[in-house]
Amino acid sequence: MSDVPTDPGGTRAVPPFAVISGAQVQRALAGNEKQIVELVEQTYRVHGDGDSVNPPSYFLRFPDRPSSRIIALPASLGGPFRVDGLKWISSFPGNVAGGLPRASAVLILNDHDTGYPFACLESSIISATRTAASAALAADRLSLGRPRPTRVGFVGTGLIARYIHTFLTGTGWSFDEVGVHDLATDSATGFADYLRRSGATGRITVHDEPRQLIRESDLIVFATVAGRPHVHEVSWFEHNPLVLHVSLRDLAPEIVLASCNIVDDVEHCLKADTSPHLAEQLTGRRDFLAGTLADVIAGRVAVPTDRAIVFSPFGLGVLDLAVGKYVYDQVHRSGELHVVDDFFHELSRYG
């Protein structure tokens, strides 16, 4: 958002309020994987320098629908971004059987100076994009100093897995082998078909269970809806792969403790029964965390080569703000911003 407009008397004016559709969001982001990864890296740097506010996420849960939730992620991002806001994202796994995506979301952007909301954006695409860009950035930075992975395995094959694959290939990755596993067979075969249609190179193998996939992959992506650990064997990781633990709750704490662990934010990740949180509860300590991705980017943490590397990103609201602001600016420059006239109406204190 540019500086808040003022009237001739110097009084601040209300910023116009715009609604940005999912189609507009997708057009603004498509094909810009490298630029978005650079944007996410810049956001991590700003957050690592302390020029942000990223409170705990708030979980709305339902006694009658225990597998479903809606999460509020408020945040404020400084640096060159200067924007505040809130992502409101739902996760209803039962949608999938009914032919709907599991997640839906909106993002509200607030003006830095007045606090007025100035945009509402469809945000399931923004959320998937920032998650995938974060994963691609981690894959690049955490693989430095070790052989670059050529065999990738995806455990969980929904929208997030597709976006992560898009961002990996869009930032220069190619693989000799791609392994695929999902509890839902049709999802696994559907993802394999997508890979072939997208021109993925290398052999594509659908695995009935995760053991062989994990053992045969140098880079492993967990993108499931698991609520508790389902992978327990430390020996499956003895070849020291790089693990993008995007879904956070797949790995038993014993695997976490045997690995080098990088997170996006320590306090955020050690809660809500994530695998790192379970490891903290098991041991009563948190020194198994080597640091954050921002620490790695800044050179404060070196990544070892003699252990599995596990990146567990809780997902920071500041990333949604950065990507959402990028989309807003792109749509604004295109001249296609849909402004809702008179959205803020009662503006005179005394009528």
Task: Give the contacts of 10 (CB within 8 A, at least 6 positions apart).
Answer: none
Domain span holding position 227: 128-312
| pLDDT score at 201 | 81
CATH number at residue 31: 3.30.1780.10
Residues 65 and 212 in one domain: no
| pLDDT score at 1 | 53
Q: What is the DSSP string of 164-198?
A: HHHHHHHTT---SEEEEE-SSHHHHHHHHHHHHHT
Cα(first)–Cα(last) distance of the chain, in Å? 28
Residues 231 and 297 in one domain: yes
How far apart are the C-alpha atoms of 43 and 61, rounded to whole Å?
A: 29
Instruction: Profile the chain (351 residues) by mean pLDDT over runs of 10 residues.
Output: 51 87 97 98 95 94 94 96 97 90 95 95 97 98 94 96 97 96 95 93 94 98 95 98 98 98 96 96 97 96 96 96 98 96 85 73
| pLDDT score at 2 | 47
In a domain, 76, yes or no: yes
How far apart are the C-alpha atoms of 160 and 67, rounded to whole Å?
A: 18
Residues 53 and 167 in one domain: no
Determine contact, residues 328/119, Cβ cutoff 8 Å.
Answer: yes
Residues 248 and 307 in one domain: yes
In a domain, 11, yes or no: no
How far apart are the C-alpha atoms of 202 and 173, rounded to whole Å?
A: 12
Residues 137 and 284 in one domain: yes
Determine contact, residues 128/159, Cβ cutoff 8 Å.
Answer: yes
Residues 334 and 286 in one domain: no
In a domain, 9, yes or no: no
| pLDDT score at 11 | 65
